[in-house]
Homo-oligomer: A and B are copies of this chain.
Amino acid sequence: MEHFSFWPHLTAQEKELINTHSRIVRYKKGTQVHQGPLDCIGVLLVKHGQLRVYTMSEDGREVTLYRLFPDDVGILSASCVFDAVTFDVYIDAAEDTEVLLTDSAAFRKLADDNIYVRCYGYEMASNRLSEMLWKMQQVLFLSADRRLAIFLLEESSKKNSLEIHLTHEEIARFMGTAREVVSRLVKYFSQEGWVKTSRGCISLTNYEALKELAG
C-alpha cells in the first residue's frame, strides 16, 4: 500500500478503509478485466503479469493504448470515481496476471474526503490520458509503414531480442489497423531486406534501416 504516494497523508481510519476494501484478484491470460463504460471495478495495482489497455470503435476495431506491468497502477478502471475523467477504456489480461484491486466505492470515499488522494488520481489520469492521446495521434497521423517500423523496434527493445513472436493479426490489433495492411507491409519490409519472416516470427535483419524509417 505504501506504493501509493498519498499513503503518508491518510489518517489511520483511511488506511484501515483502503486495506479492508482491497483484495488480490487473478486473471487468466486473455480474460477481459474491464469493459469500458459498462464497468468501474476500481484501482488496480499490478503484482505479476501484464494488462493491455485499449479503446474500441462501435464496430469492434481496437487500438492498444498502453500496457500495465508489475508495480504499475491502473486508475482508468476507476474512472467513475473521478468525475472529470470521461473517457473509458477496455482492459484485457495479456498474460496470467495478479493485481491488488481497491474497489471504487472505497476509493471514491477517500478521493472525496482527502485532497491528496483526489490529486493523486487526477495526476495519474492526466498522465495516462496524455499517453493515450499521443498514441491516438500516431495512429491518426503517421503513415502505416512508419508505425510498423516504430512498433517492431519498440517490441524488439522491450523483449531485448531481434525476434518478434507475434502474428500479423496481433500486430494489426496493436497498431489499430487491418491485418491485410500489416501483411502487405511485412512483405514489403522483407523484400527490402529489413526483416526476415518465418512461422509466427519476424526477425529484424536491418535495424538501422528500420530506425531511419521510424524517424
Contact = CB atoms under 8 A, between A and B. Distances in A.
Contacts of A188: none
Given A119-B119, A119-B122, A136-B140, 15 more contacts: A57-B142, A84-B126, A84-B127, A84-B130, A86-B130, A87-B129, A87-B134, A118-B119, A122-B122, A122-B123, A125-B126, A125-B129, A126-B129, A129-B130, A133-B136
Contacts of A118: 119, 123
Contacts of A123: 82, 84, 118, 122
A63 interface: yes
Interface string A158-188: 0000000000000000001000000000000
Interface string A62-105: 01000000000000000000101111000000000000000000
Q: Copies of this chain, how many? A: 2
A139 interface: yes
A58 B127 contact: no
A136 to B, nearest CB: 4
Contacts of A130: 84-87, 129
B127 A86 contact: yes
A85 to B, nearest CB: 5
B126 A119 contact: no
A124 interface: yes
A61 interface: yes
A57 B137 CA distance: 8
A207 interface: no
